[in-house]
Amino acid sequence: MSWNAEHLAGFREMLVQQYLLHEMEHHVLQSDISPGQITLLLPVAFDLVDIYKCLHQGEFGVGHTIAHPESFKQRLYQEITELDVADCTDEPALENISADGNMLRINLRPLKRLHEDALSQAVEDLADVCIRSARIIQGDPIRFFETLDIFRTLNRKGEIAVVGYVFVFPPVAVDAFLSDVWHVIRRIRDAPALTHSEAYRRLNRPAYRVVDRSALEGSRMASLLAH
């Protein structure tokens, strides 16, 4: 894969948006930042496994087929009906998780808020998008490994900046994490889909489904792309 300037900029912007959405609110920020001032922050809501998960989803998408569509729809409906939407006014309906914008997370709380009057139909439509997404072949392991290495470089150089703040994991921690990942990949001959960290679950309460943009564009839920 050739990481041209446009693709690299898209990748960096995707990471910036992830920190902006899920990290900024968990820090006490300075009220006055001088022009050109840069402040380094250690992520507290993200752990490295959450970055890995985001990049894995951005490359491989759903990552599995949905063998039992009706059971999938029932579980999805139960999860959505149990969600509290009272404090989700700032949560976007969609999040981009890939450099080219082809892989997205649909957040279930804003989806519920948007479709409270026709929730059953919304669940049906979302389930269909998920099922169609699962049928689309996604993912190149070599490209995924390159993506992990690009993240390591951007993190080490302090190039993931959000309005004067640069979020940086200790480079030695990134190296150790990726070394462990390579070991697992070599052992199982696959890139595992890891789970979110406890901190990310506690602070960000993730509730979403990963979908392919092309499946969403051709669906009854395509209007979400305008949100």
Report pTM.
0.94
Q: What does the alpha-carbon distance between residue 214 and residue 129 come to, in Å, rounded to a whole number?
A: 9
Structure tokens at 20: 């902006």
Dihedral sign from CA coordinates of 108, 113, 116, 122: negative
Q: Residue 33: what pLDDT?
A: 65
Q: Residue 23: what pLDDT?
A: 96
Give me the residues paired with residue 103 across strands: 212
Q: What does the alpha-carbon distance between residue 224 and residue 21 come to, in Å, rounded to a whole number?
A: 18
User: Which one, of 137, 162, 153, lies nearest residue 215 by Cα?
Assistant: 137
The amino acid at 173: A
- Looking at residue 219, the DSSP 8-state letter turns out to be S
Q: Residue 86: what pLDDT?
A: 84
Which residues contact residue 62 at a Cβ distance below 8 angstroms, ignoring those fewer than 6 apart? 130, 133, 134, 138, 210, 211, 212
Residuewise pLDDT in 10s, the chain (227 residues): 567 888 899 999 999 999 999 999 999 887 666 666 788 999 999 999 999 999 999 999 987 778 899 999 999 999 999 999 887 778 999 999 999 999 999 999 999 999 999 999 999 999 999 999 999 977 899 999 999 999 999 999 999 998 889 999 999 999 999 999 999 999 999 999 999 999 999 999 999 999 999 999 989 999 999 87
Structure tokens at 83: 């969600």
Q: What does the alpha-carbon distance between residue 167 and residue 199 come to, in Å, rounded to a whole number?
A: 16
- Our CA angle for 161, 164, 169, nearest 5°, is 45
The amino acid at 113: R
Q: How many residues does the chain have?
A: 227
Q: List alpha helices for the chain, DSSP H.
A: 5-22, 48-60, 69-81, 108-114, 119-134, 141-157, 171-188, 198-204, 213-217
- Torsion, Cα 98 178 135 78, to 10 degrees, reads -90
Phi, psi (deg, nearest 5) at residue 123: -65, -40
Structure tokens at 138: 């996604």
Q: What does the alpha-carbon distance between residue 141 and residue 63 come to, in Å, rounded to a whole number?
A: 12
